[in-house]
Structure 1
Amino acid sequence: MFSRIFVRETSEGMASKAARAIQMKIMENNKKEIPTVLGLATGSTPEPLYKELVRLHKEENLDFSLVITFNLDEYLGLEPTHIQSYHHYMHHHFFDHVNIKQENIHMLDGTVPLQSIEQHAKEYEEKIQEVGGIDIQILGLGVNGHIGFNEPGSSFDSKTRLIQLDDKTREANKRFFNSKDEVPTHAITMGIGTILQYSKECYLLASGVAKADIIAAVNLASAPNQDIPATALYDHKNVTILLDKEAASKLALSAKPIKSPLLSRSIYAPKTSGEPKIVPVHDGLNEIKINPS
């Protein structure tokens, strides 16, 4: 069971907590005139995060000029201009709206010839190593427990590589395409070993009722299990889980209700050795810490 799980009323509230952590790290490093290295995820879950980071840039003058980014993955075979490529996603939701330098943006290339993917992946890892690793890694969670595109069965020592996508992943992602047949069958992804080795701090985000079952499974796992890739994060010393109330709903299987006057209804938290904490925050939402540390 993870020691830090926070539940927020909405996905926007969840994203706000992650955005503030990123903001604090960027401001701290900017004062020292050193880069902040971010590992970034895609999909519907982090969209509110990027929206909030853009707001922080435009309304609070958050300066991204020293920020360096590395994205987790990219579909194989999609041109960067394809509307469902993660290149397009990142520029549409984030990069085009802040003052990040183009040379500081690092993304895997889904158009690399098959015979060159191994070298491309090796060079990507070398770039991460050259900048001293990733300060904050943002992770999403697949319905099958994948992080990045590390599907069930992935080695916890795995590095950046080509991977065949699980059928559940393609089924979940078909909503972004005209049909499942259009969803690529392969992708290039940072490995689980890459994430564990180079990420100094990880934030795992999950929102929506579709993620409730896998969140419960990840949290109740007694040990890392390759059948649920996200459980590899048990081996990382600095992981925070951020959920909205829908993603956290199945944590109520062995839980008691937590009531708060600022929430429309009770949020449930697993029974733990300590009392769950309700910590007020400045945006008018309540933050509920599930597993007190």
Structure 2
Amino acid sequence: MNVIVTESPEQAFSQAAGMIACEIHSNATPVLGLATGRTMESIYQILVQKHESGTLDFSKATSFNLDEYIGLSPTDPNSYRHYMQEHLFAHVNISAKEIHVPNGTAPDLDAECAQYEAAIRASGGIGLQLLGIGETGHIGFNEPPSAFDTRTRVVQLDEVTRRQNSGMFGNDPACVPERALTMGVGTILDARKLLLVAVGVGKAAIINEALNGPMSENVSATAIRLHPAYTVILDEAAASIWMKNSK
């Protein structure tokens, strides 16, 4: 288990961005698995700054995002494709043809999921997968229960998740789409490295459950403990319960 605890959220973000930058520097054709959320915004901001300073080149990189809402077009302000454009893609030199986000408006969603898996395989597999963790313990949108061998698929979003994500939808959970496309737990575990980042006391209980609780399909984040090369970066607040229980 590689758990890094920092004194502040800013230090956590900086360490995570440094790991992603190292992955890009150390591979001729880096393949990144990317995530969304407030935590990721700060990480992407640091990566953009590194690029603008001339120390980080995305020109040979390929990216695959974890998930997307069903029914939202790539240009919808609440779509994850739009989020990625705003926070990262528009500010770095990644090739548009190497950007992959599940298509939530695909006419055949099952075919879209199969194509997404095929594209990941064709890229040579994800080198480093960035992860957050939701209140239900999900990674990606792998809501409980999610088997550890699941692949990219259609999922029904938990009401807890819809409430958690409602800030982008006028704070109205009813406006959050009910379904999404997500990489499966098995797809995530196929990445050569995993990097999970969480900050704030609001994540402390679920982080403790993910790292100390029983392995469970009801908390998909527990699956990262099966991976041979995973890193968890936390600030002291997010790590507080885990540290007490790990003494």
Shared fold, TM over 0.5: yes
CA deviation after TM superposition for structure 1 residue 60, in Å: 3.8
Of the candidates 197, 202, 207, which is equivalent to residue 210 of structure 1? 202
1:14–1:244 Cα contact (<8 Å) kept: yes
Of the candidates 135, 140, 154, which is equivalent to residue 148 of structure 1? 140
Of the candidates 38, 50, 68, which is equivalent to residue 32 of structure 2? 38
CA–CA separation in structure 2 for the residues paired with 1:87 and 1:79: 8
Structure 2 residue ranges without an equivalent (≥5): none
1:192–1:232 Cα contact (<8 Å) kept: yes
CA–CA separation in structure 1 for the residues paired with 2:19 and 2:235: 17
Q: Which moved more, 1:93-102 or 1:244-253?
A: 244-253
Alignment of 1:1-293 (within 5 A): 3-29=1-27, 34-113=28-107, 116-178=108-170, 179-197=172-190, 199-222=191-214, 224-254=215-245, 270-271=246-247
1:140–1:147 Cα contact (<8 Å) kept: yes
- Larger proportion of helix: 2
CA–CA separation in structure 2 for the residues paired with 1:9 and 1:79: 39
- The residue matched to 1:70 in structure 2 has which SS? strand
Displaced runs of 4+ in structure 1, greater than 6 A? Answer: none
1:36–1:67 Cα contact (<8 Å) kept: yes
1:12–1:49 Cα contact (<8 Å) kept: no
Q: Please identify the structure whose Cα radius of gyration is greater.
A: 1
Percent identity (aligned): 45
Which TM-score applies when normalising by structure 1? 0.82
Which TM-score applies when normalising by structure 2? 0.96
CA–CA separation in structure 1 for the residues paired with 2:102 and 2:64: 8
1:218–1:230 Cα contact (<8 Å) kept: yes
2:197–2:234 Cα contact (<8 Å) kept: yes
CA deviation after TM superposition for structure 1 residue 11, in Å: 2.1
Over the aligned positions, Cα root-mean-square deviation in angstroms equals: 1.1
- The residue matched to 1:128 in structure 2 has which SS? helix
- The residue matched to 2:210 in structure 1 has which SS? helix
CA deviation after TM superposition for structure 1 residue 65, in Å: 0.2
CA–CA separation in structure 1 for the residues paired with 2:146 and 2:243: 29
CA deviation after TM superposition for structure 1 residue 10, in Å: 2.2
